[in-house]
Amino acid sequence: MTSQTGATPRQIGRYRIERVLGRGAMGTVYLATDPHIQREVALKTIRTPSLNDGQGTAEPSGAELTARFLNEARAAGRLVHPHIVGVFDYGEAQGVAFIALEYVRGENLAQRLAQHARDGSMMPLLDALTWFAQLLDALAYAHELGVIHRDIKPANLLIAPRGECKVTDFGIAQLDTGRLTQAGMMIGTPSYMSPEQYAGAEIDARSDLFSAGVVLYEMLSGQCPFSGAPAAVMHQVMNEMPPPPSTHVTSLPAELDAMVLKALAKRPDDRYASAQSWRNALFTLHDSFMARLDPDHTVVRAQPLRQTLAAPAGAARPDWPPEFLAQLEQRLASHVGPIASLLVRRAASHATDSQTLAAQLARHLSNDAARREFDTLLKQHVIASGDDSKRSTLPIESTSAACMPLDAEHVEAAARRLASHVGPFAHVIAERAARGADAATFRARLADALPASVDREAFLRAFDDPPP
């Protein structure tokens, strides 16, 4: 790897560098390829000079930067969610620390907002509410697992080409297992920091909700509610309430004003209690808007927002026996620790059958051996229960079947199509893409594995043709 000349390296660790995606004060993000599975990744690195001690400067020390970097890998690596950028790998090579992240084509929300500002246009309300609902779903999931992001802002929200919003950059996240900062220290982005962050006080998940409120204000009005010199921003955040978003966009309803200002309350107790409760309030408000706009088509027009997050319509969730869930929790805990309780509870609240339940839980296991062991324990539970109705629905096939709702023939046909683009690793990529995925997610994952030179739309259209 070349480093001192400033030239782009050809390789870092096992990752082949394609091009630079972005540069910052502390490092560079590259588009890279993992040659083992021919997958494109965003390779985030700490620039070699940043690994120096840094003492006597205003910049964080090399040790602190490395700690933040590892913190990001641990925080985001703990989270497996469609609206959180995935972490694949962490390592150090040739004096460079790196994180291999899911590569999300598209742009961040800050860029999208800047484009609207240049055009003199406002972000469409449905787009804003849809992306914000996805952000709240991601935050609800992260908070359940003990991760507080602490730097929610438009630049850390990616908008993918298919329209989904993904949260990234967990470098200063607070984990329930420890902290990079102590009480009395401020960390974050000034215009999006909560009052308690400025005060250096203890924070909880409601700090993220304040930051999310700032983001929503900006999406609705095109204006950041707190702006100016750093000292002025700090004074505004801690002491002043901004004018309602409708001050800037008069067509916004009063209910949205009230929602945003509740999120921006100075006292955490005056905000929404959780991201989940805010998400529920957002759905209720959205349905109310649709009823007022077009009473005859409320259900049809309200569907796009709910489709981003809600379970399939009419899908009845089983009444899971408490003892069965307790047994799953106990077995899962041997692999993931105390967060097993949260994982089982969340999976049970969303799964419509036991195979889906098993697939959702299996994705949290670290390797195939652990998944096989978990699957074996589930089989034993079914056999011991002697309940044929449960036996017909619980995953009693192989681990791959438990984690891959798609049938083997479908996956094999997809692998054959993929092989012409990525070579002999196509079967490995297809099998991994199928784990816990429905047909649409499976296709999207395969498209993400394609080299940049391949026409993704043509590849996806080929699924409508007979298999080769």
- Residues annotated as catalytic are 151
Kindly write down the DSSP assignment for every residue of 12-53, as one continuous string: ETTEEEEEEEEE-SS-EEEEEEETTTTEEEEEEE--GGGGS-
137 membership: H or E segment, kind and range:
helix 125-144
Instruction: Round to whole Å and give the CA distance between 137 and 108.
Output: 18
How many C-beta atoms lie closer than 10 Å to residue 389's C-beta?
Answer: 8
Residues 161, 106 contacting (CB under 8 angstroms): yes
Name the DSSP class of 193. Answer: -
Residues 298, 290 contacting (CB under 8 angstroms): yes
Instruction: Round to whole Å and give the CA distance between 319 and 389.
Output: 13
- From the number of C-beta atoms within 10 Å of its C-beta (0-12, 13-18, 19+), residue 120 rates as exposed
Amino acid at residue number 188: G
| Chain mean position to CA 340 | 19
Name the DSSP class of 309. Answer: T
| CA dist 81 → 108, 150, 257, 325 (Å) | 18, 18, 29, 21
Both tokens of residue 134?
């996805």
How many C-beta atoms lie closer than 10 Å to residue 159's C-beta?
Answer: 21
How many C-beta atoms lie closer than 10 Å to residue 416's C-beta?
Answer: 13
Instruction: Round to whole Å and give the CA distance between 227 and 207.
Output: 19
Name the DSSP class of 172. Answer: T
Instruction: Round to whole Å and give the CA distance between 468 and 68.
Output: 48
| CA dist 227 → 117, 191, 222, 232 (Å) | 16, 6, 13, 7
Instruction: Round to whole Å and give the CA distance between 252 and 124.
Output: 11
Instruction: Round to whole Å and give the CA distance between 369 and 424.
Output: 23
390 is annotated as contributing to ligand binding: no
- If you search the block for the tokens 């959780």, which residue do you land on? 274
Q: Which residues define the annotated binding site?
A: 44
Name the binding residues for ATP: 44
